[in-house]
Structure 1
Amino acid sequence: MKKILLSVAALFAAAAVMSAQSMEDATETAKLANESLTSGDYATALAGFREALTMAEACGDDGLELVATCKGVIPSLLNRIAKHELQENNFDAAIAGFNEAVAVAGEYGAEDIAAEAAGLIKESYLRKGNSLLNSKDFAAAAEAYTKVLEIEPANGVAALRKGMALENAGNAAEAEEAYKLAAENGQEKNANASLGKMYLKRSVASLKGKKYADAVKEAVAANEYAPNPQALQIAGQASQLSGKNADAIKYFEQYLEAAPTAKNAGQIAYTVGALYQNAKNNAKAKEFFQKAVDLGYADAKAALSAIK
């Protein structure tokens, strides 16, 4: 029995020596990691603190203080490394790093680090989208902005830029949805300007393609989003070409109100006069022929004289 007790005592003594040695090793590893941290070698520091953490956890109660120290440092290191990747425009590496920082910080109770890293994930996707948009990789840019909106659905800037990316990628329907979302979230002026330009481009294409009803609809929408005399002119031209003279008069008159000194104002006024003349409204025809004369449109004088 005494031999057994002696053997057990010897075992505990040996374990104590091993534990002490292990703690010394863990402490030394942590010390070296701290030196790397001080010198700015964050990757080496992270590896060292993680190794020290594993060693300290194996020491049981003796390692609790070092465990707490390592857990206090590791989330911050992960965040720093990810920030560096973001500064270098290594967006995917930054996003992966911030995601890891969020997970580890959450596990270790570092809520402030978790919150900061989570915010920087959104920032990383936004910067990635901007970079891709500038390099004209529109589909990938739209995907990056979508990630931002998954994190923060009310991010008007991301929605606006997603609309730009989708429009340039040829996805007009989804671009319109993105622009409308942007308008609802603080980007109304910019979003409406983009929608106006998008509809104006469509109306020009429809007019060239002799899709006059579409051209009118798109031009009117363009002008509603962003008042533009060109849109009113297109609506007038498309209406006239489709035989809807009353509508043509309406849009051309609106054009003249919006752009009274435009280079083609005299010609447009003459056209309105001719349309009124065809409609047997000589009084209005005279009014617009006279306006055309006043604007220096040469053919208007003869038309005005003839109608008198």
Structure 2
Amino acid sequence: MSAVTVPAEGLAAEARPETGRRHVPVRVWVGVGVLALFVLAALVGPLLWPYDPVATHLADRLLAPGGRTATGSIAWLGTDQVGRDLFANLLAGARITLLVAGATVVVGGAVGLVVGLVSGYFGGPLDTVLSRVGDVQLAFPSILLAILLAGVLGPSITNIVITLAITRWVIFARVVRASAMSTRRLEFVDSARVLGAGHLRILVRHVLPSCWQPLLVAATVQVGLVMVAEASLSFLGLGVPVDTASWGATVSIGRDYLGSAWWISTVPAAALALVVTAVGVVGDGFRDLSDPRSQI
């Protein structure tokens, strides 16, 4: 009998797993749409619907959603106990939330990136010291540490960014350290070292590119957690100043009116829950798309 020969191309095609374009789930596109709407409202909303957080209109106090103010305008989301429009408050608070979340992730991510690169690449006693510092910080609940730091620094947007960045840098450092440790042992890094490349060049040209992807995944997760932390501190009176719109502060002032004016606390709380959920969905989708194992 003659042997049946199979072309090499056919064997390669059979051995190669079928891979195609990754389809983005619908829930991810919904999350992207919610986040886009949130960013748009934060950037241009306060310009189209001006809001003065310290101005009071007692004639319009505790209006239900859709009620008419003394000037004849419609309070689409109602008013609070001093007559401030909650829709304008929501738009102004979105800008503060976006500013704090973005600045915190940038500052904390930058510090964690540097610490993680140095710790993971050089190792040795320096890695041990930096890792133990991170372990000590992780031993404390992040919200309790944030309350302590915010109480010492005082309420302001700058201080809240510093506070939350201090509580988050260790997360980014751990992610970058793991990537740097796995990359420094690869052959192309050894080749660059043999060719005489310095540590700084190796870190920037070879180790750093491998850290961007996990760092961005961690950043998308931390954005939602930072939003919740900022709202929690503002709820306790330790976040933004009283003359600044904040979703957490609005929820706090509406606690005494839950029975008669539920919308004061419900509107910003629902907005916060919606945005944080959207951030989580988009973060999960980005993680799945960036993971090579999920594409097999």
The structure with more helix, counted as a fraction of residues: 1
Q: What interval of TM-score do these two structures reach, taking the shorter chain for normalisation? A: under 0.3
Superposition TM-score, scaled by structure 1 size: 0.23
Higher relative contact order (CA 8 A, sep 6+): 2
TM-score between both structures, scaled by the size of structure 2: 0.23
Quick check: which has more Rg, 1 or 2? Answer: 1
